[in-house]
Amino acid sequence: MPSLGADMDAGTVVEWRVGPGDEVHRGDIVAVVDTDKADIEIESFDAGVVQRILVPVGVRVPVGAPLAELGGGMPVAVPPVPTTPVAAIGAPVAAAPEPAAALAEPPAAIAEPPTLVPAPDSATISPVLRRLATHLGVDLATVAGTGPGGRVTREDVESAAAAPATAVAAAPSTRSGEHTGMRSAIAALMSRSAREIPHYHVTTQIDVTTAMRWVERANLDRAVTDRILPIALILKATAVAARQAPELNGLWIDGGFHPAERVHLGIATSLRNGGLVAPALHDVDTKDGASVMRELRDLVGRARAGRLRSSEMADPTMTVTNLGEQGVDAVYGLIYPPQVALVGFGRIADRPWAANGMLGVRPVLTATLAADHRATDGMRGARFLGLIDHLLQEPDQL
Amino acid sequence: MTTLDLRTAVAGALHRVAPEADLDQVAPDADLREAFELDSMDFLTFIEELYSRTGIDVPERDYPLVTTLERCVSYLASRSGPAPTR
């Protein structure tokens, strides 16, 4: 069970996309996991042939627990595995040997609550615990056992009842349930951020006349499907600035800063039915505006459809939040731990602007950096914002 | 395309970005972005969906002309050539 963000400590397998005998490649989507926030498509860390599925559908396990066993060698008498995730979605799991046959539920089973799938060790749960679980409204199938042999203990049931998110995970099909799980996941993460991270904020106003004109001009020649929004250029500038300010792009883990080698911008995305996720847009610094735009739309679309991938949840190196569309001028955010920086953008508004001794009206964007004072000082943060400003003045160079 | 066709196209395009959107619930002159909380990315998708349904590519400078149902339909009508005579 991969960690899909600092706010996750357990997850429930809701679907297997592969079964024993299937060959998987690194990055293939092998399963779908329900975190408290969303259903996430899990990509394989490794290549090989699935030997055994260790965690059946409907079972909740802690982060770090192995989900399946991969081995080398070629699959025997199994048709070639579809290599694209899209093709894999509808494909039934073929030729799974008996032990796993019951585990590899057809996709039709996804929508059903996990309660319908009994945990394999449910027989070992005492009637007393069952009554307790029923009384507390805890779904035993979603409780990860910490007792001997993974047995569910009284403490497990009680802590499952105490954590609202856990109880909610038992009913992923209800919309209000998603809200509650999402809310408590955000609550836990942001509380940790406010508790652990000594934030400092710096802010600057950026004249985006040139950038806006550049976007406008670029769109003139583009078909509607290739059009870009100013945010694509702004993200690109942020990513290039992040590459030049490695102290702000990375993670604070175990009392030390670990710079990231690549720039994966977490995109704070509000969901249409409430809630917030911040999946990663990968390698933004290396892509042109049109590619950033295309991938951004794909990412936001999948975030809202609940189809994010594990790598996108796990590896943002810095987060960007853009609340300009909501009409606010500036965003003073909280950092997503264990990241050390969050960049907030407000709206682009026409404002009086003095330049070259003249007062004029220019489109102006307010950029704010929230940064971890353990990792950097205000001077570095100020330079970073200055860099974004500078880059946006020369969009052709981006 | 008739006005009705165009209205259906607008409703369909809107449905893609805001599945819960119900055009009957909003005034014809209400701003669609406000009524259905569309951000600029949603709006771009809306424009793209209009294109795939009507073949009409709304350039960026004309976005202000398609922000309400009423204006959107009449804009598309003006772009889709002379209305069929009866």
pLDDT in tens, A139-164: 776 777 666 666 677 777 777 776 64
Q: Is the peptide bond before A338 cis (omega within 30 degrees of 0)?
A: yes
Percent of chain A with pLDDT over 90: 42
Among candidates B18, B39, B44 on the partner chain, residue whose Cβ is nearest the Cβ of A227: B44
Residue A377 — very low, low, confident or very high, per pLDDT cuts 50/70/90? very high
B64 touching A (Cβ < 8 Å): no
Residue B66 counted as domain residue: yes
In the beta sheet, which residues pair with residue A354? A359
B85 touching A (Cβ < 8 Å): no
Specify the higher pLDDT residue, B13 or B25.
Answer: B13
Count of structural domains within chain B: 1
∠ CA A291-A289-A327, rounded to 5°:
115
Looking at residue A102, its pLDDT comes to 37
Kindly report which listed range (A144-153, A191-200, A234-243, B29-38) carries the lowest average pLDDT score.
A144-153
Residue B34 counted as domain residue: yes
Residue B19 counted as domain residue: yes
Q: Which amino acid is at A265?
A: L
A186 touching B (Cβ < 8 Å): no
Kindly report which listed range (A257-266, A334-343, B33-42) carries the lowest average pLDDT score.
B33-42
Domain range enclosing B43? 3-79
For the residues A18-31, what does the mean pLDDT come to?
Answer: 89
What's the rounded Cα separation, in Å, for the pair B33 and A67?
Answer: 43
On whether the CB atoms of residues A57 and A114 are closer than 8 A, the answer is: yes
Burial class (CB in 10 A: 0-12, 13-18, 19+), A159: middle
Q: Could you tell me if residue A48 is left (phi over 0), alpha (psi between -120 and 50 degrees) or otherwise beta?
A: left
In this structure, what CATH number is given to the domain that contains residue B63?
Answer: 1.10.1200.10
Percent of chain A with pLDDT over 70: 78
Kindly report which listed range (A91-100, A142-151, A335-344) carries the lowest average pLDDT score.
A91-100
State the average pLDDT for chain A. Answer: 80
Residue B63 counted as domain residue: yes
Half-sphere exposure of B27 (CA within 13 A, CB side): 4
Residue B25 counted as domain residue: yes
Evaluate if residue A127 carries a pLDDT over 80: no
A1-192: CATH architecture: Beta Barrel (2.40)
CATH code of the domain made up of A197-397: 3.30.559.10
On whether the CB atoms of residues A318 and A342 are closer than 8 A, the answer is: yes
Residue A91 — very low, low, confident or very high, per pLDDT cuts 50/70/90? very low
Percent of chain B with pLDDT over 70: 93
Residue B7 counted as domain residue: yes
pLDDT tens, residue by residue, A261-273: 999 999 999 887 7
Report the predicted TM-score, pTM, of the whole model to 2 decimal places: 0.70
Residue B86 counted as domain residue: no
Helices vs. strands in chain A: H and E counts, helices first: 11, 18
Residue spans of the domains in chain A: they are: 1-192, 197-397
| Inter-chain residue contact B60 with A325, CB threshold 8 Å | no
A231 touching B (Cβ < 8 Å): yes
Looking at residue B82, its pLDDT comes to 59
Task: For the beta carbon of residue A379, count every other beta carbon within 10 angstroms.
Answer: 9
What's the rounded Cα separation, in Å, for the pair A274 and B33?
Answer: 17
Looking at residue A194, its pLDDT comes to 96
CA dist A129 → A58, A143, A164 (Å): 19, 12, 19
| Inter-chain residue contact B51 with A224, CB threshold 8 Å | yes
